[in-house]
Every structure is written in C-alpha cells, then in structure tokens.
Amino acid sequence: MKLHSSNTQQYQTVTSYEDNGVEINLIPFSNSLIVLPEIAPSAWPVTSFDALTIEHFEQINAISPDVVILGTGKRQRFVHPRLTAPLTTRRIGVECMDNQAACRTYNILMTEGRKVALALIFDVDPTPATTA
C-alpha cells in the first residue's frame, strides 16, 4: 500500500508497505529492521517472530526510544514479557501489532514528534532458492 507524502521528508518515514517488505523514504527493505525518525534504518538480525531473544530487545534498548512499535509480521502476535524486560524496566512501552498496522502507527507517532522506534520482523526463508 502506498502512503501519502507529508512534511516529514527530513525524517525516516514509511512510504509504502507490503507483506514481504517496506519502503522507508522510497528505499525498499525486505529484511527485519529498526527505524527511528532521525536515524537511518538499521538491520535487525531477527529471522522470524519465534527467533526473538532478549538480545534483540537489548539492541532496541540501546537507542533509548520512548516507545517501541513491534511489527510481528503478517499477523499480530504478542511477545513474552521476559524478552521485553530490558525495555519495560526503563518504562519504555512496547506495542505489538501486525506489520501494516505498525507502519501506520509509527508514521502517526513520528509526525507527533515522539521518539518512537519501529521494529519490523520479516520472516527469512531458511531454504535457499533452487534453479532448475
């Protein structure tokens, strides 16, 4: 889905999303990543929702957002509280939603001037493609 442009060109804005990827300022990404309004998107080494570890959330904790919007893939799933403990002990909220809702929510919070982190999970197929 393409999103409308706004006055946020100096920020990292979700400009489009699909089930298998996202565009940040018109640049496509298809692997899991972390996006903040004023910092270029960075790779997030998460291959699937089930592969999440406390270390993944410590990586987000290091950037000290006010709130984390966690895109859990094509459908909404909820992460175990022990994994988000590095964030919740610092009173950083974590909201779980499917990737499309996460992208929309991030854009809204970002335009409000919030220090929001968008963490998106895109499942990586562990089987390499074969050619015949």
132 or 121, higher pLDDT: 121
Q: Pairing relation of β-strands 33-36 and 67-71?
A: unpaired
Q: Model's pTM, two decimal places? A: 0.87
pLDDT value at 116 more than 70: yes
What values do phi and psi take at 35, rounded to 5? Answer: -125, 135
Q: Where are the beta strands (DSSP E) in the chain?
A: 14-18, 21-24, 27-29, 33-36, 39-43, 67-71, 93-97, 116-120
Q: Mean of the per-residue pLDDT values for the chain?
A: 90
Which one-letter amino acid corresponds to residue 21?
G
Are the C-beta atoms of 14 and 3 separated by less than 8 Å?
A: yes
Q: Which of 95, 123, 119, 113 is closest to 43 using CA atoms?
A: 119
Which pLDDT belongs to residue 124? 76
What pLDDT, on a 0 to 100 scale, did the predictor assign at position 110?
96
31/41 Cα distance (integer angstroms): 11
Q: Determine the Cα–Cα distance for residues 8 and 29; give it in Å rounded to an integer.
A: 19
Q: Is the pLDDT of residue 131 over 70?
A: no
pLDDT band for 128, please (50, 70, 90 cuts).
low
